[in-house]
Each structure stands twice: as C-alpha cells, then as structure tokens.
Amino acid sequence: MKTPLTQALAAATLLAAGGADAAERKEAQQVVRAGSQASSAGPEANFTGRVKVEMLWPSNERSQASGAYVSFEPGARSAWHTHPSGQRLLVTAGTGLVQEWGKPVQEIHAGDTVWCPPGIKHWHGAAPGTRMTHLAVTGMADGKGVEWLEKVSDEQYNAR
Amino acid sequence: MKTPLTQALAAATLLAAGGADAAERKEAQQVVRAGSQASSAGPEANFTGRVKVEMLWPSNERSQASGAYVSFEPGARSAWHTHPSGQRLLVTAGTGLVQEWGKPVQEIHAGDTVWCPPGIKHWHGAAPGTRMTHLAVTGMADGKGVEWLEKVSDEQYNAR
C-alpha cells in the first residue's frame, strides 16, 4: 500500500540516490597549480626553529592521506610526535636528521625515504648546517594525522 | 577436555599471538636510501615511448598507497587507465600533459598536483618537447592500483 509517507520516502530515496549518483559523476580529475595552496609557518608549539609547511593536497574520503612539502632551516626540527596512521617522508633537498625514540639519530639525504609506522615516537628536521625539505604523505585516522609530544632538546638534537 | 589436538592448537595460537605481538613491537622507523629501490621501464603494453618508474615505497597494510617517481621522455605517455582507489600526482620536473576522457588536454608544470579520482579514465605523460617527472602516490584497492585500457593515439595526444 502506498501511503503519502511511503511515497514521500520513496521520492526522498530517489532524490538521495540521484544526488549521490550526480556527485559520483561530477568528481572530475583536478589539477591544482603550483603555489596556489596555503603555506604556513610550523607553529612554535610543535617546532624548534624556522619551518615552512606548503600544503600540496588534503586528505579526502577516497584517499585518506594529505601531502605537503616541509622545509626546515638549518638546526630546525619538529617536536617529538607520533602518527596514528603512519607517515611517508621523501627528502627532496638538503640533509636532514631523523630519530626514533631510544635509537640513534640518522642522517637523511635527498632521495631517501622514511617510513614512520603508526604510534612510533620520533622527530625529523634539518641537519645543523643545511636546510632540508621533505615531502610528507601523512595518513589520517579519525581526521587526525599527528599527536604532538615534547620538544627535542638541544642535547637530544646534538647527540651524535 | 584437553586432547592433544586442542593442546597443539592452543600452543599454535599462543605462538601466533606472540609472533604478531613481536612483529608489532619490532615495526621500527625505516630509512630507505636513494637509489636502493628497483627502477624499471614502463612496459610497452601500458606506455607509449620511453618511461622510467622508480619505486619509492610500497603499499603496506598500515598505509595502502605506493609511491614512485615516473619519468617520461618527450612525447612519452601512459595508456588510458583508471585507478580503483585514486591517485595523487606531483610534477617534480618538466612540462607534462594530462587528460580526462571527454575533456581537453591540460598542461602540467613542476609543482602542480593532480587528483585522479577512483574510476575516472585518463592519461598522463610528457609534453612533446620536454621530459616530465612526477611523483605518483597510488591508492590500492584489493591489492590493485591501476586498470589499464587502450593506448593514447597520436591523434588524441596531439589534439590541442
């Protein structure tokens, strides 16, 4: 039996399905031009020294990982942190440092990649004498890509 | 009642659990050095012209997207294809071309990014006169990152 309510529900369902279908059809290939994305300073609370973050792409429902270039001036570094869903780094310029909690500091160079597994406490930054830029592809879990912890002390930074 | 079989199963379960736990604990930050990954030619079946693929990182269970540099000689391009889970491109050198099925060819330049949504038929490659390299971050769905289709004809490539 078709009551007004079931008819309204059926119409709403059709509309919703049509809307979703249209959205599906509308998702087109998207070119985003160099320099058109926001760039910002790495905040004082989470970084030591001058750090620039250039967003490349956001996480979306279909691809839950954001992309950004992060550039560290000599001596600059992130605070200790973890990634709930992991992170890939690709060094694109300069020489950097990376350290997992409880392990030695390692040098990283242009072309090197780093896999930061979920939940592993670590930091990354430039070496003392050079700038370093890396691409960061950061997995998102429940809308979150990073859990910030305490800063990297000069003693920790220089322990090599 | 503990039969030898249930005892053996219980022991196997404990071992498996212990193994998984050890693997969990063992997952450490991993640095992969530039040039240590496999590089290969883009296969004739899926590319026109000379194309080099340098793997940067594989997809894994925690991060279901692979990373690679793909370099196209002038005039070289992929075949038409779709990505079941989408793909992000970041042009790192040169000038390239990209086209979604039924839409105009677009030029892409160093620093530009491209979002290729799941299921959208498209191709990418170098412009006629220049090499082009892009980073490709390719989402994986059921272990698959790409569905290859027919090649891009010279007529399609030159339709600008």
| Best CA proximity match to A96, nearest among A127, A52, A50 | A127
Q: What is the DSSP letter of B103?
A: S
Place of tokens 């249930």: B6
What backbone torsions phi and psi does residue B9 show, to the nearest 5 degrees?
A: -65, -40
At A25 the pLDDT is: 54
Kindly provide the ipTM of the predicted complex, given to two decimals.
0.82
| Residue matched to tokens 């990283």 | A108
Residue B86 touches partner A, C-beta closer than 8 Å: yes
Which residue of chain A has the CA closest to B118? A62
What is the pLDDT, as a whole number, of residue B27? 86
Of A31, A91, A110, which has the smallest distance from its Cβ to B98's Cβ?
A31
**B103: which residues sit within 8 A by CB, 6+ positions away?**
A28, A29
Is A137 an 8 Å CB contact of chain B?
Answer: yes
Which range among A49-53, A96-100, A145-149, B57-61 shows the weakest confidence by mean pLDDT? Answer: B57-61
Task: Pick the more confident residue, A52 or B62.
Answer: A52
B114's CB contacts (< 8 A; 6+ apart) are A29, A30, A31, A32, B88, B89, B91, B98, B108, B124, B134
**For position B57, what pLDDT does the model report?**
96
Predicted model pTM:
0.83
Check residue B38 and give its pLDDT.
87
State the best of B39, B85, B98, B115 to mutate against chain A, taking most chain A CBs within 10 Å. B115
What the block records as the tokens of A87 is 């992170």
- Grade residue B22 by pLDDT with cuts at 50, 70 and 90: very low
Higher pLDDT, B19 or B88: B88
Confidence bin at B80 (pLDDT 50/70/90): very high
Residues A145, A59 contacting (CB under 8 angstroms): yes
Tens digits of residue pLDDT in A95-105: 999 999 999 99
Q: Is A139 on the interface with B (CB under 8 A)?
A: yes
Number of H helices, E strands in chain B: 2, 13
Q: Are A126 and A93 in contact, with CB atoms under 8 Å apart?
A: no
> Which residues in B lie closer than 8 A to residue A28 (C-beta atoms)?
100, 103, 117, 120
pLDDT reading at A24 higher than 60: no
B62 touches chain A (CB under 8 A): yes
| Angular region, A2: left φ>0, alpha ψ -120 to 50, beta rest | beta
- The structural domains of chain B, with segments of one domain joined by +, span 1-30, 39-157
Q: Which of B88, B46, B49, B51 is nearest to B66 (CA)?
A: B88
**So what's the architecture of B39-157 in CATH?**
Sandwich (2.60)
pLDDT of residue A137 exceeding 60, the answer is yes
- CA-to-CA dists, residue B98 to A26, B121, B125, B159, angstroms: 18, 11, 7, 12
**Residue B59 forms contact with A (CB below 8 Å):** no
pLDDT digits (tens, 9 = 90+) for A46-73: 999 999 999 999 999 888 999 999 999 9
Question: Does position B63 have pLDDT exceeding 80, yes or no?
Answer: yes
Tell me what pLDDT residue B160 has.
80
Of B29, B122, B135, the CB nearest to A114: B29
Pick the CATH number of A39-158 from 1.10.1740.10, 2.60.120.510, 2.60.120.10, 3.40.640.10: 2.60.120.10
Spatial distance between the Cα atoms of B120 and B103, rounded to a whole number of angstroms: 12
Would you call B57 and A88 a contact, using CB atoms and an 8 Å cutoff? yes
CB-based contact (8 Å) between A38 and chain B? Answer: no
Chain B residues touching A114 at Cβ < 8 A: 29-32
Specify the pLDDT at position B90: 98
Q: CA A141 to CA A143: how far, in whole Å?
A: 5
A62 contact B CB<8A = yes
Residues of chain A above pLDDT 90, percent: 77
Pairing type for strands B106-109 and B122-126 reads unpaired
How much is the pLDDT for B116?
97
